Amino acid sequence: MNYTDNLQSLWKEAKNYLELQKEYLKLDTAEKLSILLSAVAIVAVCLILALAALLFFVVAFGLWLADFVGGAWSCTIMGGAMLVFIIIALLTRKRWIVQPVSRFIARLFVNEDEWEEIP
List pLDDT tens digits, range 36-81. Answer: 889 889 999 999 999 999 999 999 999 999 988 988 898 899 999 9
Q: Which range has the worst mean pLDDT, 69-78, 90-99, 104-113?
A: 104-113
pLDDT (mean) for 100-111: 82
pLDDT number for residue 108: 80
Phi and psi, residue 92, nearest 5°:
-110, 20
pLDDT number for residue 118: 55
Decide if pLDDT at 7 tops 60. yes
pLDDT number for residue 5: 82
d(CA 51, CA 56): 9
Report residue 1's pLDDT band, with 50, 70 and 90 as the boundaries: low
pTM: 0.65
Q: List all residues 6 or more positions away from 44 whose beta carbon is below 8 Å from its beta carbon.
A: none
Identify the residue with better confidence: 119 or 81: 81
Decide if pLDDT at 32 tops 70. yes
* Angle (nearest 5°) at CA 102 between 95 and 43: 85
